[in-house]
Structure formats: structure tokens, C-alpha cells
Amino acid sequence: MKRIMVTGGLGQIGSELVPYLRDRYGRENVIVADIRVPENLEEIEPFVKLDVRDEEAIIRVIKENDIDFIYHLAAILSARGEQNPQLAFDVNIRGLYAMLEAGRKTGVERIMVPSSIAAFGPETPKDNTPNDTILKPRTMYGISKVTGELLGLYYWEKYGLDVRGVRYPGIISWKAPPGGGTTDYAVEIFYYALRGEKYTCFLREDATLPMMYMPDAIKAITQLAEAPSENLVHRTDFNVQAMSFSPGELVEEIRKYVDFEVEYRPDYRQKIADSWPRSLDDSAARREWGWKPDYDLPTMVRDMIENLRRKLGV
Ligand SMILES: NC(=O)c1ccc[n+]([C@@H]2O[C@H](COP(=O)([O-])OP(=O)(O)OC[C@H]3O[C@@H](n4cnc5c(N)ncnc54)[C@H](O)[C@@H]3O)[C@@H](O)[C@H]2O)c1
């Protein structure tokens, strides 16, 4: 039986990954670890308060709970990272190093570490971006993601610690709010639309970026987690494409359900978006572990609207 720990488990992805894993492996076998203590602790338990920069604490938690499988989601995301690059370095690079060392020393079987489209940079081809291409990001977040991809590969080849990851695009979901990324507009905008409020978008109307709906994000990470090792040529750096759209195209799709007003006022996040691809070539993920998304723009918007109407009671 797997014993799983999800670090950063209270975040946007953890909030949906944890229930999925608990359904599959049993509630008591999936431990949530986060630096924040949740208000609804009873609903979240088993929970441990853990700072991923503290290697000794990680080792203690792994041993006390017999953990053999880790989803390492604790991170500072792109926009927050540009406001506090030192914190992003600390949590994303030092924290990952502490996690890898703890994994190596305790003999953990596998660590899933999401990378991001932020690993790419302005010199990377923007359309149908190849899996193996130029990685020269200019954000601290992106630098931490390239470092994570390389460190993960190093620990696999040097120590046999099986580290795997996909390069997530912007993730859209309705259960938990996003944690400070450049694509957060694509979640926020639904709340404004459904409340009939005007939305001021921090990206340009034509800023096309790759995006993914949460069910596909969960599918990608769990499918890769279970892929036979011998099928993997890549390991820590899989492109995964689901849909690409601009704020203007998203607004047009949402207006099929509700009318609302939008103004575009790009801020510092536009510069981050400008350095990222518009779409990705994910043939390596398709070939090596059978990746295939279920949602495109129209089906994602329909599902978001349905669920948020229920959640917000509008
Ligand atoms: N959400 C996206 O759009 C997206 C896109 C690309 C990649 N990713 C990657 O997926 C992973 C999860 O992202 P998310 O969207 O769930 O992030 P999030 O910001 O919603 O959640 C991160 C969680 O980490 C916790 N955390 C922060 N510092 C910590 C520390 N020192 N120790 C322990 N916990 C700490 C936070 O409290 C938070 O609950 C990250 O690696 C992120 O880079 C996310």
C-alpha cells in the first residue's frame, strides 16, 4: 500500500489532488503537509505543519508516517515570485533541495515535482514549443523550475530517486483559489462575470497562453506518477498541452452564458506572459505515458460556469 505525502497540499492543485488520492488510496494513507494550518483542520486531517525548507523536519515526517511517495507541490508561484524573488528562491530551490536530500536519505520511492511553462523564456519558440528546446527563463520562478527539472534528473541518474514532473500551463479550477500566478486572471474572471461585476484584466486582450482545466491537471500528474519507468525517456520535464486562449477569447466564450464588462489594464504580469509560449508540442508525453487531455475551451467554460453557479448560489 502506498503512503503518500502532498506538500503544499492546501494550495490550488493540492486541494483537488488530495481528495482524488484519498479516494484511491484511503484517507489515512494520504498526508497533507503545508506551512499554513487550515481553518477546517478536521476536514483536512491527516495533516502536518511542515516548512519544506527544513530538511530535518521533512525526514522526521517521512519516517513517522512511513511515507514512500511524495507529491511536492509547495512553491511560490510566478507573479508572487517576481514580487519576492528571494522567497521564491528559498522555497522553490532550497525547499526542493531539502526534499530531494530527505528523499534520498530515507529511501523514498518517488517524488512528483511539477515544473511549469515558466521554464521557457523569450528565446524559446513560442508556438508548438518543442519539449527539448532553449530554457532561458527571466523570472526567479522560471529559474527555480529549470533548476528543479535538472536536479530531479540528477537525483534519478545519480541515486535512483525517481523524480518526475510535467510542465503545467496555467491551471483553471473552481474549488480553491489560485496562489499568485500570471494566469490567475482566467479563474478570477469567472467570479466577476457571474456576479455581474466589471472585470479589469491584468493581461492584454490578445495575450495567448497555454491553459489546462483542473481535472486534466490531476490526470496528468497521477498518470505520469504511475507510468512504467522503462517507458520514460524524459522524466522531470514533460510538456502537456490542453488548450490555448487569450483573455479576449475567454471573454467571448463566457459571454455565451453571462454578459459582463471587461477592461484591459496590463501590469507587470504582462511581461512575464510575454516570455512564455503560446502553445506546446506535447508529443513526448503522449508517446511515453499516453497523455491526452479531456477538456478544451468550450467544455472547460461550461463546466466552470455550472460549478461556480452552484458554489456561489447565483
Ligand atoms: N496553478 C498553476 O497554474 C500552476 C502552473 C504551473 C505550475 N504549477 C506548479 O504546481 C505546484 C502547485 O501549485 P499550486 O497552484 O497548487 O500553488 P499554490 O500557491 O496554490 O499552493 C502552494 C502551497 O504551498 C504552500 N507553501 C508555500 N511555502 C511553503 C513552505 N515553505 N513549506 C510548505 N508549504 C509551503 C502554500 O501555503 C500553498 O498552500 C507548484 O510547484 C507550482 O509551481 C502550478
- Pick from 74, 124, 81: nearest CA to 278: 124
- The CATH 3.40.50.720 domain(s) of the chain lie at 4-169+214-239
Q: What's the whole-number average pLDDT of the chain? A: 98
How many CB atoms within 10 Å of residue 130? 14
For 264-282, write each residue's pLDDT tens digit.
999 999 999 999 999 999 9
- The CATH 3.90.25 domain(s) of the chain lie at 171-211+243-279+293-312
What is the band of 1 on the pLDDT scale with cuts at 50, 70, 90?
confident
Which residue matches cell numbers 503545508? 34
From the options 3.90.930, 3.90.25, 2.60.40, 3.30.565, give the CATH code of 171-211+243-279+293-312. 3.90.25
Is the Cβ–Cβ distance between 113 and 236 less than 8 Å? Answer: yes
For 68-81, write each residue's pLDDT tens digit.
999 999 999 999 99
Q: Indicate which residue's Cα is closest to atom 1 of ligand 1.
A: 171
Cα 138 to Cα 122: distance, rounded to the nearest angstrom: 8
Distance 154 CA to ligand 1 centre (A): 23
For 29-85, write each residue's pLDDT tens digit.
999 999 999 999 999 999 999 999 999 999 999 999 999 999 999 999 999 999 999
Q: Which residues contact residue 242 at a Cβ distance below 8 angstroms, ignoring those fewer than 6 apart? A: 169, 210, 211, 212, 213, 216, 293, 295, 296
* Nine-digit cell string for 145: 523550475
Task: Select from 58, 72, 73 the residue to mutate for testing ligand 1; criterion: most ligand atoms less than 8 Å from CB.
Answer: 73
CATH number of the domain at 4-169+214-239, please?
3.40.50.720
- Virtual CA dihedral for 157, 163, 167, 171, nearest 10 degrees? 180
For 147-159, write each residue's pLDDT tens digit.
999 999 999 999 9
Atom of ligand 1 nearest to the CA of 90: 31
Tell me which residues have their CB closer than 6 angstroms to ligand 1.
Answer: 7-8, 10-14, 34-36, 50-53, 73-75, 77, 91, 95, 114, 116, 168, 170-171, 178-181, 183
Task: Select from 5, 13, 76 the residue to mutate for testing ligand 1; criterion: most ligand atoms less than 8 Å from CB.
Answer: 13
